[in-house]
Structure 1
Amino acid sequence: RGRGTLTVAIPGNYLSESTSTIEPNTTGWAPLLNCTLSRATGGTASDGCLQMRSVAAGEMRCRTSASYAVIPGVEYLAFADASGATVPERIGIRWLTATSTEIVITWAVTTATASATWHRIAVADYAPAGAAYAQVVFSSTPAGAAVNSLFDNVYLGLPKRSTGNLLSANAETSERASEYAATTNCTVSRTVPMVNWSPLLYVAGGHVATMTVTANGAAEMRCTDTPPVTPGVEYEAYAYIQPPAAGSAAWIELRYYDSEGVRVQTTRGVLAAPGTGWYRQRVPATAPADAATAEVAFGLSTATAGQVLRCDTVVIRVGPRYETGSIIPLEHSDFEAGVGGWTTVAGVATLSRSTPWGAAFRSGSYSLTVSSATATESTIRSPKFTLESTGPHRYEIAFQVSAGAWNVATGIRYYNSGGTEIASESTVPVPMGTPGWWLLVTDADPPDLAVKVALELTLTATAASSTVRFDRAAFYPSLPIDDAFVNEATASVSLVMRELEVGNLLTVSRTTPDGVRTLVRGPDGLIDRMPILDSTVAVEDYEAPLGIEVTYNYETYEVGETTPDRFGLWTRTVPAGDPNEVWLKDPGMPQRNIRVLAQRAPDWQRNIAQGEYRVRGRRNSVILSDVRGGLEGELLIWTRSDEERRNLHWLLDPGRVLLWQAAPGMGIEDVYVAVGQVTEGRTVPQAQEVWRSWALPLRQVDMPTALGVSGSAGRTWQDVLAEYGTWADVLARFSTWEDVYLNRPKG
């Protein structure tokens, strides 16, 4: 999403795209008090934005024209981007009864000051008793007439959370109430600073946890949400932090507690702040054997009275690995909180974490910095890591030469269960490339008795005062870099792409023999420059054509680049199966797909809108026509069992666009269709007969492009645990397990 560019809707938004982005007009909005509304330009989600202008001095308000169904007791979130050079603003959720009578408005804290720069405002609350509908409300209080407040990128729906966050949505964003408590020498509140967040960053902005120092000295606050953890698992805590001054001794801590509530481990990540902006600081740590819960805390090691520390988008999650199956924990591979246990075992090289924040990194915000004052050889070594599988492995690490020149050789040492070194291997030294970041890759085959490994880098500075940086260390099973598998039972193709670089962009497409190239569908729609969130990406293509050879292609891009860094090709064919059977598929919910027995293909019709004008004295009319419409016809099929019948109802119930596929040679091309009124008939008078005859009126439509597979990318049981306290709460909120998976509460 770029500023001034119309984009797809915010996932899960109850508001229409027109209401959310004010495109092409303001029909989704209505005045509520002392204002007029119009469409202005220069928005965030698109060029358009909502302009609310005061009629006279005093508070002005506007609201969404429509009301949106809500369920009492369920938490909802509203946010928007705002701009107001003269007066600060606030956002609210207006709760209404079934007869549209206002119950109450839940208001956000008013923005700290007026700001013409676009900034995020947000509020969340539980729908009160008696609430049936909700509206989004904007408010500001100008001192006179003709004062403007601008709004764009508006959302109303269920709370947003970062994928995999163990903390609740409210602990992450503080949009409803403060989940933070003062621990030492401070007071804690919620404020709404003016921060120019990306319009795509839906979990940041609005209220932030704010710590105000009481007296000179150290100060700290903590999050009161303490999720359960598993001993031996590495977790990572991170947050956006705004320090009071450049160089402030601000920090984030990941703390572990035992079952009695006694703190058993604390790991701190110190922010090397280059200024007073917002910086995302990370800290990873493995939960010790007696850990039961985790906590995140923030503070200043030294501070003066009145200084303020702010935090937003607070997350505790299972620590990611930079390659799937890597045995190197984040603490030792990403160097966000220190040098990760790496040491100099020979030579004069010194190790440190890069500084300040954001100065040098391949991922995160820091890297391991190796410096040599003399032109000599040094060897650095990692801690020992436990092997988790046998067979070939791959050792990789990214590097960047920042001063002087270097040669490098990689090495691996293997240890048995008693900790004795039993083997080692190393590569021939080679010059380190410049400029920019490079990747060292070494393949290895651990011996049978190897239980642990330690990684080495032998670095030779070929000039005095040389410096090199390292990041993203990994040691993982060496599998094919990509592959594709055909699943005949589901008429689909599984694509697997490994060793991708997190943060880059991915495009996946298929090409048929006639040269037509189509993007493959992923969790957020067609995969076109999709952000890579994991080093291994698996895609299930349920829309692959039947019985013909298809070529798959994938490309990866650096952000902002147009030339791919990497690409791959596969050729696969999905067997067509019995030519008397056809597939009816839901592109967004492939679990509903069904193969049925065809009775009769449609006799297609193609309507056209025409206007006839009879000219006096002329035999022939003047006909004005629009373009001819798509295919329309009735598909006749059979279901042969009660299970097939129930599955077909399950497929048809949501009324979504379907893909109809038949075997090649049947005179029918793959077509996306909308299904009209369905007729389910019996084939014989006997009630016991399970066969049914179905008439499905079809109308051809365009392929849905923004629809994602299952519509729930990244949702896990941890998300359910963080949102609902008991299974009774889950059962009260959802009708089916599919609704749990897709996060669709009742109503």
Structure 2
Amino acid sequence: MAIPGNLLSATTESIDPNTSGWTPKANCTITKGSGGRNGDGCLSVKATAAGEIQVRTVASYPVTAGTVYYTFADTAGTVAERIGIRWLTAAGVEVSITWSLTTLAASSSWHRVSVSGPAPAGATQAQVVLSSTETAAGALHYWENIYLGLPIRTVGNLLDWNTESAETDASGWQVEANASIARQVPVTTWTVSWYYAGGHTIAATAAAAGDMSVVTVARPSVTAGTDYVAYAYLQPPTSSSTAWIELRFYDATGTMLQATRAPLAAPGTGFYRQIVSDIAPAGAVSCAVAAGVTGATAGQVLRFETTAVTVAPKIVAGSVLPYAAGSFERGIAGWTVPSGVATRVRSTPWGAVSYMGSYSMTVTSSTASTSTLRSPRVQVPNAAGLNWRAQITALAGAGSWSNVTVRVHWYSAAGADLGTSAGHGAALPAAGWYRINADQVAPAGATQAEMEIVATAAAAGSVMNLDGLALWQVLPLTAVEAVTASGYARVTLRELTVDNLMTVYRVQQDGTRTLIRGANGLIDRDPIITDIMVIEDHEAPLTEPVYYRIEQYTPSGTLSTTRISDPVTVGLDDPNLAWLKDPGNPQRNCLVMIETAPQWTAPIEQARHKVRGRQNAVVLSDSRGGLEGDLSLWTRSDEERRALRQLLGPGNTLLWQTHPGMGEEPSMYVNVGQAGLARAGGDADDPWRQWTLPLVEADMPVEVGVSGAKGRTWRDVLTEFPTWDAVRSTYASWEAVFLDRR
């Protein structure tokens, strides 16, 4: 699979089907090997003699001085290795090479090396250089899954790239207690398609016996009352070490208001993602992330990488439970046992038992009896009279549970007890994770709530694990609305099953089904990555009611569920107007005024042969082509003229949509030839223009996906660029900012 944003070609990246993207730079020959990860091919590099061997990309790739670029590769061999970015002038003269550190050890298993750095002054091009120092002629080293491009950041991360990755240097971190900081490249194998982790790690070494900690230099801004999550991949010194990550909040004076710690219950000495979350307290304006080891031995090393702070995700869209109280990544997060003998702790070790994340809440009943577990109290403003759903995911770990009931306890703004809903109960089967939920209407005056789980253990010593807990206002599973002003239909899908596959059809009055477009092209068995999805259908027909059919499939491809939406009609009130749309870039769509509809022709390729002595010629014909004709339209302002030029500029296949009866077809995909735009006459400053667009009917583009921000927000722009001048000098337009096209 091609790495998103890679400047390297697919062949250069994956070494499939050949090695044409690479050439020896020093002391080696290259061939195509097998057993790769990103396709079967890999780059096999053979030493000509003992000593350093280097290969580089054949091509040079354009770069901008001062911009940070990133390269990584997966590699394997009998010696340690490094990777570099070779910077070149426009004339191809080497300026310098930014090298990674050399890996701490050699490994014949695939592992990752990487580095990032700013392009130096004078550099206009870059190459990737792969290096290892072999001990003898004929020694082999292997490379695969190679990337060069802009940093691949965690979307929404409040920390800058270098603090997140340590791929440039260690300056994003500072010593807090009893430690020194350096960078190291341990031998680490990451999943081939996991692009957020590289080779460099921060290595915090204990200076003496005792507690050791380091903290980020950056103090990104936060909003009081917002739930945040921080995480990092930690490699503890030993499996018994008490390594931890901490999320801290500060006020305007820099005084720490709150510190929430999540210890890692490590099952070994690999890298484990440890998550911590909490709500920013009143007065909080900034945050930081700290990491450390409690009771470290002198010389012990804690390594970590891919550090991030983001707004906490919702376990279910709209859930009012804090992330910590539904995921248990840092502990039991305020859950209590108001009645019964059950005890509750975070599961251990990391990854042993969980439905989401790496931990769950382990509930143990010492007797065959009933216990009640209660969540921390949360705010549910304007809840009265609305339907709410409480949901848990439970696993019977030992013994048996004859009844597990989920319900909600309601309170007024003053804290008065408004009673508990009836809830819904079910016996918990002996194996596997099961979801139990209950819908209930909030009583009058309810503004606060606690989720309650009433569990009856059928045997002493019964154990139950809970994870993925949520409480949210129930909204329609499928909702549609017409956004007539922008010419599209909006489809909102809720409570989707993550990791399933999904197909979405638009169904017209005559029963015609058409796949609708998503980020990767037509949505046809696309993986579901979130439980809520909003789809904008900019190709919906105008003034005609349509509905949407949603099919969900299991990962193996078996149809599991279907949904049908209500009908929706996208309007177009003025028949003199029409839409010209770019299916892959709906932000460029234009509403234009038609002067004259095309006088269509249906061309055909023919060869006419007059046979001597015969009256009629012999005509050989190809099939008749699509319609062709000239569309004449007006732009009425400078803004409309610029917008239409932007739409036509890339030469993409467009969708022309008219009011029914005003064209040969109300919707038609077209290619536009040489466009003419003449002044409409009158004064020289008259903004009106008369456009003539030669149209050729085209097929619906199938592979084109809808361009978008891919989850980026203004906060990401703020994190990546120190000033607006830096943004302006990096991007040519606001659309380029939106699409992150530098």
- TM, length-normalised to structure 2: 0.89
Give the match's secondary structure for 1:720.
helix
Counterpart mapping for 1:101-116 below 5 A: 101-116=93-108
Matched AA of 1:118: W
Supply the distance in 2 between the matched residues of 1:601 and 1:201 (Cα, whole angstroms).
53
1:567 to 533, 552, 562: 562
Which has the higher mean CA deviation after the structures are superposed, 462-471 or 692-701? 692-701
Equivalent residue, structure 2, for 1:618:
none
Contact 1:84-1:148 at 8 Å conserved across structures: no
2: distance between equivalents of 1:38 and 1:674? Answer: 44
Partner SS, residue 732 of structure 1:
helix
Identity %: 44
Give the superposition deviation at 1:687: 4.4
**CA–CA distance in structure 1, aligned partners of residues 625 and 544 of structure 2:** 24
* Contact 2:477–2:495 under 8 Å retained in 1: yes
Count how many residue pairs are aligned between Structure 1 and Structure 2. Answer: 722
Cα distance in 2 for partners of 1:526, 1:242 equals: 41
Matches within 5 A, 1:153-552: 153-178=145-170, 179-390=172-383, 391-406=386-401, 407-427=403-423, 429-502=425-498, 505-510=501-506, 518-528=514-524, 530-546=526-542, 550-552=546-548
Question: Secondary structure at 1:423's aligned position in 2?
Answer: strand
Q: CA deviation at 1:645?
A: 2.2
**In the superposition, relative to structure 1, how do residues 368 and 547 fare at CA in structure 2: closer, same or farther (>3 Å)?**
same
Paired letter, 1:639: W
Secondary structure of the residue that 1:600 maps to in structure 2? Answer: coil
How far off its partner does 1:697 sit? 5.0
Aligned CA distance change for structure 1 residues 599 and 528 (closer, same or farther; 3 Å)? closer
State the distance in 2 between where 1:149 and 1:50 align. 8
Q: For residues 346 and 337 of structure 1, do their structure 2 counterparts lie closer, same or farther at Cα, with a shift above 3 Å needed?
A: same
Deviations 1:291-338 (A, max 9, x none): 222111112223333333221211111112222222111121111111
Match of 1:99 in 2: 91
CA contact (8 A) 1:334 1:472 kept: yes
Contact 1:602 1:636 in 2 (8 A): no
Partner of 2:589: 593
Unaligned runs of 5+ in 1: 1-6, 611-623
Tell me, in whole angstroms, the C-alpha distance in 2 between the residues paired with 1:21 and 1:706: 22
Contact map agreement 2:631 2:695 (CA 8 A) in 1: no
Deviations 1:156-213 (A, max 9, x none): 2221111111111111111111122333333222122222212221111221112233
Structure 1 CA distance for aligned equivalents of residues 120 and 133 of structure 2:
26
Report what 1:732 is aligned to. 729
Instruction: Measure, in 1, the Cα distance between the counterparts of 2:274 and 2:729.
Output: 38
Counterpart of 2:24 in structure 1 is 31
In 2, Cα distance between equivalents of 1:548 and 1:198: 47
2:134 is paired with a residue whose SS is: coil
- 2:706 alignment partner in structure 1: 709
Matched, 1:720 2:717: yes
Is the alpha carbon distance of 1:603 and 1:709 closer, same or farther for their aligned partners in structure 2, counting shifts above 3 Å? same
- 1:94, distance to aligned residue in structure 2 (A): 1.5
Contact 1:606 1:632 in 2 (8 A): no
Per-residue CA deviation, residues 403-424 of structure 1 (Å, 9 max, x unaligned), is 2222022232222222221332
Report SS of the residue matched to 2:475: coil
Compute the displacement of 1:436 (Å).
Answer: 1.6
The residue type paired with residue 299 of structure 1 is G
Task: Give the residue type in structure 1 aligned to 2:192.
Answer: P
TM-score, normalised by the number of residues in structure 1: 0.89
Report if aligned partners of 1:632, 1:697 keep a CA contact under 8 Å in 2: no
- Report whether the alignment pairs 1:584 with 2:580: yes
Q: Do the aligned residues in 2 keep the contact of 1:249 with 1:300 (CA within 8 Å)?
A: yes
- 1:223-247 deviation per Cα after TM superposition (whole angstroms, max 9, x unaligned): 2222111222221111111223323
Per the alignment, in what secondary structure is the counterpart of residue 727 of structure 2? helix
Q: CA contact under 8 A between 2:426 and 2:436: conserved in structure 1? A: no
Pair 1:266–1:135, CA change in 2 (3 A): same
Q: Distance in 2 between matches of 1:702 and 1:25?
A: 34
Aligned-residue offset at 1:661:
4.4
1:75 to 56, 68, 76: 68
Gaps of 5+ in 2: 608-619
Deviates more, 1:372-381 or 1:509-518: 509-518
Contact 2:392/2:436 (8 A) holds in 1: yes
Q: 1:214 to 1:520 in 2, by over 3 A?
A: farther
* Aligned residue type for 1:128: P
Question: Is the deviation greater in 196-205 or in 50-59?
Answer: 50-59
Q: Structure 1: how far apart are the matches of 2:504 and 2:140?
A: 44
Measured after TM superposition, the shift of residue 476 of structure 1 is: 1.5
> CA 1:386 to 1:73, structure 2 compared with 1: closer, same or farther past 3 Å?
same
Could you say which residue in structure 1 is the equivalent of 2:617? none
Query: Matches of 1:733 and 1:130 in 2, distance apart?
Result: 17
Q: Is the 8 A contact 2:22 2:58 kept in 1?
A: yes
Displacement of 1:365: 1.0
Identify the residue that residue 56 of structure 1 maps to in structure 2: 49
Q: Structure 1 residues 697, 60: closer, same or farther in 2, change over 3 A?
A: farther
Which amino acid in structure 2 is aligned with residue 35 of structure 1?
Answer: C
Q: Which residue of 2 aligns with 1:621?
A: none
- What is the DSSP-based 3-state SS (H/G/I as helix, E as strand, rest coil) of the residue aligned with 1:410? strand
Say whether 1:649 aligns with 2:673.
no
Where do 1:612-627 residues align within 5 Å?
none
